[in-house]
Structure 1
Amino acid sequence: MLEIGSPAPDVVLEDTDGRAVRLSGDGRAVLVYFLRSTTCPVCNRHVRDLVRRAGELAAAGVRVLVAAPEDPPVAAAWKARRGIPFGVLAGRDGTPHELLGLRKAAFGSVQRSGTLLVDAKGVVRLARGATLPTGGYDGKAIAAAVKEL
């Protein structure tokens, strides 16, 4: 996982509509929540929390993205079924998780979840990663990091 205070890597991710997405460069902060899988109940609860916080995050100038390890059609179907208002990143050539350091754990069998906040200048302000999905998201830590932007 990336370190707080380090520059965000210049990687190009892809959303479920096939659009290229970068972590910096558009003048806004970006928060990415990395799901363990679209079927993980804990991860889905975290996404619901982000949806509840959408207004406050937008008011703070934070763009929210959700990264799913599944391929684009599966991630797009999940987004539509759940009514997710955020862009959803999906895997094509590797997953968004792998590109940003959230490699699978337990001999490559368990996808890690996590949260990444990059400020408008492209600097990492929050980075969490965990094998158990309960450790990959902390609403209070997100609120505190966003407040400091």
Structure 2
Amino acid sequence: MFKTILYSVFLLLGIAIQAQSTKGINFQKLNLEEAKNLAKKENKLIFIDVYTTWCGPCKLMKKNTFTDNKVGELFNKNFISLAVDAEKEGIGLAKEFKIVNYPSFLFLDKEGKLVQYDFGYYNATQFLQIGSSILQKRMSQNDTKSIDQVKGKMVGEKVENFTAKDQLGKSFSSSAQKQKIILVFIRGQWCPYCNKYVKELQDLSPELKSKNTRLVIVSPEKPEFIQKTIEKTGTPYTVLYDEDYKIAQAFDVLYTPNKETLDFYNSKIKNDFTESRSDHSGRLPVSATFIINENKEISWRHFNPDYKERASLEDILKQL
């Protein structure tokens, strides 16, 4: 009899544990500081569901999406999850992140820095994709550096093939180019120094054909923002969308500005800065210039962390 009772207890306990592990997202009753400490300890990101009690899509997320077993498995393994009422304990958070849509989703790193913001209703499959995408970005961001840490590819280094879409939606492959490439990194159409420099580069155009050279501009901005670069500068050159900063990372020019700089850009430039790139990390490329020879090696470079200092046209022509 005792064995039967003991067996039943363990069976029920096992069922309870299994049910708990597959109930969906485990939202913890922590404040942000506690969540950051736990995220550091467990090496996780932070997910915050910012909701209101009157929001219909918020209720649907809670009922249909957050309870999904696969969503729970992904988020419980990789995130410290919080749910806050924007009109109660989340008032300060909503104000800090300028939240006006509900539900809103904040994905933060373990320091409390915004990795990605999203809002609206998503079914379980869609929300799984969002979570997975953020984790992929986190892996790439592990290599994120400060502006003092990036050094840029050096002269003599081999350049691996890189691909991207240009402003016309056409695919560009560096390995397919049979000529020298002048590769110019810009920060975006919101940067007046970038626009001025892109205009100046047009003076090189008559010389490039005779030098068997193609000039290619690399921007971290989405196609609709690259179009603004075209409109502002009238450039005839190829402009590549560096989605997920893959080219900038390969050339070691990708960095994250300090908090003061990011706060300034976010407040002054607003959507032209926050919405223009493939994520909300605030990462930018150093405004560097590289010349790649026919053997796909760096033959010359101009690398200066000061975005106001660009390669002179005279120096570029001397190296072709």
- Which residue of 2 is the match for residue 94 of structure 1? 245
Q: 4+ residue stretches of structure 1 with deviation over 4 A? A: none
Normalised by the length of structure 2, the TM-score is 0.42
With over 3 angstroms needed to count, the CA separation of the structure-2 counterparts of 1:104 and 1:85, relative to structure 1, is same
Q: What corresponds to 1:14 in structure 2?
A: 165
CA distance in 2 between partners of 1:119 and 1:134 (Å): 26
Q: Distance between the aligned counterparts of 1:115 and 1:83, measured in 2?
A: 20
Shift in Å, 1:35 = 0.9
Which piece of structure 1 moves more, 107-116 or 81-90? 107-116
Using CA pairs below 8 Å that are at least 6 residues apart, which structure has the higher relative contact order?
1
The secondary structure found in structure 1 opposite 2:182 is strand
* TM-fit CA distance, 1:51: 0.3
**Structure 2 residues without counterparts, runs of 5 or longer:** 1-151, 263-282
The SS at the match of 2:181 is strand
Taking the TM superposition and a 5 Å limit, the aligned residue runs for 1:31-110 are 31-94=182-245, 96-107=247-258, 109=262
In 1: Cα distance, 2:221 partner to 2:312 partner: 23
Q: Distance in 2 between matches of 1:73 and 1:12?
A: 19
Q: What is the percent sequence identity of the aligned residues?
A: 18
Distance 1:99 1:107, change over 3 A: farther
Alignment check: 8 A CA contact 2:204 2:313 kept: no
RMSD: 2.1
Aligned equivalent of 1:132, options 306, 309, 314: 306
Q: Distance in 2 between matches of 1:13 and 1:101?
A: 17
Structure (1 or 2) with the larger CA radius of gyration: 2
Q: Does 1:119 align with 2:293?
A: yes
Conserved 8 A contact 2:220-2:243 = no
Aligned-partner residue type, residue 12 of structure 1: T
User: For each residue in 1:56-102, what CA deviation from the matched residue of structure 2 results, as whole angstroms up to 9, or x when unmatched?
Assistant: 12221110111112112211232144321011011323353234221
Q: Is the 8 A contact 2:179 2:214 kept in 1?
A: yes
Distance 1:81 1:139, change over 3 A: closer
Larger helix proportion of the pair? 2
Q: TM-score, normalised on structure 1?
A: 0.84
